[in-house]
Structure 1
Amino acid sequence: MSDAALDLLSKTFASAMLLNADPDQVVAAIQKDLPILTTEQEAKQTEILALSENFPSSASKLNAILGGKKFILGTDKPSLADLITYGRVRQPVFEIWSPDEYKSNANIILWADRVQKSEIFKAHKPDESTFISTAALGSNNKAKKEKGPKPQPAKAEAVPITPALVDLRVGFIQKAVKHPDADALYVSTIDMGDPSGPRTVCSGLVKHIPLEDMQQRYVIVVANLKPVTMRGIKSEAMVLCAANEEKVELTIPPSGSKAGDKVFFEGFDGTPQPQLNPKKKIFETLQPNFTTNEKLEVVFKTDNGERPLVNKDGKVVLAPSLVNAEVR
């Protein structure tokens, strides 16, 4: 198995499961328990990993693929695809999904239950409070109910608030128009790399940026804020800008960017939450530390210095001209 695959397994499975051991040691132990795959299964695994990276937007496709299968690739025990996909699925399913979403994606829930009960999990003793429950499936849950006192719901472990929770991406504005019912708003159609297609985004930029400058250009977007309806139009993201009291500017993605490219503050390259919970004020807590520096770089200020906003190649997101400006 490649080093890249092992690193991916460590990040998405071992750490996500809160295993009581060093992730690298756990992954090394797990590696010997993985099934040997055929060339066809290796190709299918690559496809599944790409699909699971977009979960939960890819939930319906994944649910269809899992119909009638014990494990994703048709193996008798969990493969790398099962473990990494489970690591990506666990948080949104365990923390966010409603009983109705459980039932409409029953194949995912039953598959996750089999992965949880596999020998790999038993051998490495994951925290059972993080398991996906099949209880919401009702009649689909064939497990026998044991008599006894009703267990108390497990308290979810507090997630540290860091920029890694924010889904920052490159977006491409296909078209922008003025909002028909709000003089200060633009309504943009922005490609963010989602399988479901472009999103609609409302931005209060009419007084700051000419309409012609909002056409056919790349921008940075915050993609996991809760959608809000602005004068009758649902806005599904936010365009990131640098601003001071006199001027507002669209931030500039790294050269060579394409729609959907991930950007992150250096040192905070994690898995963003599918959707930020507005009650927890995660973005509102982090945003005051988003700024530009003397080099026009967009940075996150920490006690240990500035962390630039970069892509996977280390190229930095910039502001056109505003130095030491707020980024919002």
Structure 2
Amino acid sequence: MTRLPPSLASRADDVDRITGHKRMRRNRKADWSRRMVQENWLGVEDLIWTLFIVPGTNVREPVEAMPGVFRLSVDQAVEAARHAAELGIPALAPFPNIAQDKRDETGSHILDDDNLIHAFTRAIKKAVPDIGIITDVALDPFTSHGHDGIYRDGEIVNDETVALIARAAVMQAEAGADIIAPSDMMDGRVGAIRQALDSAGHQSVGIMSYATKFASGFYGPYREAIGTADLLKGDKRSYYIDPANAVEAVRDAELDVAEGADMLMVKPGLPYLDICRALKDSFGLPTFAYQVSGEYAMIKAAAANGWIDGERVMMESLLAFKRAGCDGILSYFALEAAARIRAGHGAPALKPPF
């Protein structure tokens, strides 16, 4: 960088001569000009609300590691969904905390017609029919060992898991799910799910593939929220992607595209913005990021300690996903961010359900 001597720095004409009359600050001088040249925007329509559901009635349990986040019974989730719809949020992504006596080695409860995912989906579609439902078919909330697939002799069995989650995808579609979002990272699962859905007459149900789900340390609060933190045997590195591997991540996504994925997802979000951009540039499909529980918890904890402006960092982090090429963000901040966006547009305040 050229360092100007004091005699030159004090004279505007010499600065213009050296910079070639290019002054980047001209466009930053006022609020109106900054808004006029802004390259990326965050809207309510970019937000997908991730929420936790539990059995029972009138249940609202705080998640200790995620201030402001609750595990909700289905009736409470319906009220929350109405609020999300009023804010303009387009879709919900539920994650269940299943009773321990419903969990087994194979996650078989995912195939029960009365499980929490199906109950939630039916209730939301009846009460708030215009909001989208994005359901996961990974087995980790349903297994007694906390893994995303069938666990046998110290190994996750790929093909049996794929067969099971393909059946689960059909059941979730029949319950009213609009998009199936498989997060298990088993090989071949997108193609199997697409074939199963089409064969069952659910050609209009989309697949949002967790195309690049990394073996990350950012998932801890989520595992507390769904009750698998103390269940997990070993780790998930045999099926999640190594955080060091960007080329492998793109190859993984390429296979999902070939198998029929309609949308791609990157998880976690903020530490993997380079992957978001790579997927968008490589495939051009709608691309999403999941701002995971650890990302949420860090922002909330730092804000609670007065170390950062929590609202400002929340909005900045969400905007970063749009800058990286994402079409939307799955986030626990969705309600809070949507309210902030509406307030910025002069919309009337809406009373939150909790």
Give TM-score scaled by structure 2 length: 0.26
The one of the two structures with greater contact order (alpha-carbon pairs below 8 A, sep at least 6) is 2
